[in-house]
Amino acid sequence: MTYADAAPVTIALPRLPLGDPHDCTDANDELTLYQTFYDTLVKRRDGTYHAHLAEGWRVSDDARTWTFDIRSGVAFHDGTACDAAAVAQSLHRMAREDKGYTLGSPAVWRQYLGGAEIEADGLTLTVRLTAPMADLLDVLVQGFIVAPSVFDRLDAGDKTAICGTGPYRLQSAGKDRVTATRNPDHFATAPKNETLVFVLETDAKERARMLADGRVQVANSLDPHIGTVAGAMLVRFTAPVAIIYLLNSAKGPLQDARVRRALSLAVDRQALIDTVLDGAADPLHGFVSPRHFGAGGDPVPGPNVAAARALLAEAGHADGLTLTLDCPTRLPDEAQKLTADLGAQLAAIDVRFDVRIHKDREAYAHMVRRKEIGDLCVFDSSPMSTFRVLYEKIDSRTAGAWWQGYRNEAIEALIDEGRVTSDTQARAALYRKAYAELQSDPAWLTLYIPHRAIGLSGNHPGFRMREDGVIDVADLPAFTTDTETAHG
């Protein structure tokens, strides 16, 4: 049996987006690529943070000053030193107003790192924030450390300006193919595969065929309904992304908490999952998934049509009402089917939809960011950070990109307390209180978290996906390159 260091291991992705690693993203294919070439100060695994480029860290009692001990002897792929000064430059770049862009939402990282005093002394990095943030590691887990030597090329839009300290080095990059070779000087356990080739294949069925016939050893984003693939192991998991409807709490009938609660009570989430996704999702009972830090365990109340009708009547809508609903044609791709089936369910409480379809997804995101939605709109929520969701999307004082007018002083008091609570268990308890409060006074109509699947050639019973649904190439098993051995 020949192992993968004798031949490339090929990974099929639905997208091959080489971009700027300091732009915020939750796309698993993009994060897979970034984590191939770059390291972060810490890594998240099994709900906790582990030392990575930083060997250790300390936080002040007020959660405003963080000190990191940078690992000694680490070099970027171009040979330049990765010391505290280089790390500080990456954090400063992340905090720029033109960085941290994600679909419709610029300057994501600036909200947390903007204005911070970031000081370097040899291998000691000190970050003094302008406001307390006990959850800073949630940001730094996506803070990819980039060699300052390529900043100018990145700013000029050069997508091949890839130079980190990560487990693999860039060998070549094209529109449909990216090749990476193992970094022999990486500080962590050496990956089991010498060379990786990422190939673009947009069709999920073709990715499965490529896996079955040995053209690829890893296939990302397979159809979760897929049965088996010859000679391969399928890994199924629930993605942390939340499929929701943002509710316009600034104007219209959904300003009234009773109407928002009535919608939530009337929905049969499992029935929607069965009709829209053929069962390939789990009901979403709160504003974050069960994989999130501080998520509550109680199911959201309902379905209860009688109670929903009573709430509508109490709010002055005994005869029902019509809501204007904005719906994209993708992201989520099932948005139109979901809207139709949700409308059929809410007809039971005499709620009707006036649906506006949007084909340009980026323009749709900008419309949502500008707070120009009707009464509600199909959306998703994907940050793995519970604090980021609360702060960026629910806190009325922040009024972030996806905030739609919701105000709840009890929630905001919990956010403030969480900011300064460094004790992990105590902070988790605060977020569980926020979870319960948002079930009784919902900011969104929460529906489900979808199932996902990837495929690995051969049988690897010890492999499992991380909670964020991103393939960590450094954790991939060794693959055979002999087709008969792998598929026989």
Q: What is the CATH number of the domain that holds 77?
A: 3.90.76.10
Query: Does one domain contain both 319 and 187?
Result: no
Query: What pLDDT score was predicted for residue 80?
Result: 97
Together in a domain, 34 and 46: no
Cβ 144 vs Cβ 33: under 8 Å: no
Residue 17 binned pLDDT confidence (cut-offs 50, 70, 90): confident
Does the residue 269 lie in any domain? Answer: yes
pTM assigned to the model: 0.94
Instruction: Give tens-digit pLDDT for 47-61.
Output: 899 999 999 999 999
In a domain, 58, yes or no: yes
Q: What number is the average pLDDT over the span 18-39? A: 94
Q: How many CB atoms lie within 10 A of CB 19?
A: 15
Residues 338, 407, single domain; the answer is yes
- 422 versus 17: the higher-pLDDT residue is 422
Q: Is residue 408 part of a domain?
A: yes
237 inside domain = no
Q: Note whether residue 153 is domain-resident.
A: no
- Verify that 76 and 139 share a domain, yes or no: yes
Same domain, yes or no, for 467 and 332?
Answer: no
Same domain, 295 and 252: yes
Q: How many domains in the chain?
A: 3
Q: Does residue 152 have a pLDDT over 80?
A: yes
Residue 467 forms part of a structural domain: yes
Quick check: 2 pLDDT over 60?
Answer: no
Pick the closest to residue 73 from 185, 183, 175, 171 (CA basis).
Answer: 185
246 and 307 part of one domain: yes
Predicted pLDDT at 117: 98
Coil vs helix vs strand at 127 = strand
Q: Are residues 362 and 251 in the same domain?
A: yes
| 434: number of Cβ within 10 Å | 28
Note whether 214 and 175 are same-domain residues.
Answer: yes
13 found inside a domain: yes
CA–chain centroid gap for 378, Å, is 17
349 part of a folded domain: yes
Residues 50 and 99 in one domain: yes
The 3-state DSSP class for residue 75 equals strand
| Share of residues in the chain with pLDDT > 90 (%) | 91
What CATH number is associated with residue 184?
3.40.190.10
Average pLDDT over the chain, rounded to an integer: 94
pLDDT digits (tens, 9 = 90+) for 184-208: 999 999 999 999 999 999 999 999 9
319: number of Cβ within 10 Å: 8
Q: Which domain holds residue 441?
A: 242-450
How far apart are the C-alpha atoms of 141 and 236, rounded to whole Å? 24
Residues 256 and 298 in one domain: yes
Task: Tell which of 145, 176, 210 closes a domain.
Answer: 145
CATH number reported for the structural domain that contains residue 378 in this entry: 3.10.105.10
Query: Which pLDDT score, from 0 to 100, does residue 26 have?
Result: 87
Regarding whether 470 and 438 lie in a shared domain, the answer is no
DSSP 117: E
Could you tell me the pLDDT band of residue 83, with boundaries at 50, 70 and 90?
very high
In this predicted structure, which of 13-27, 90-104, 444-458 has the lowest mean pLDDT? 90-104
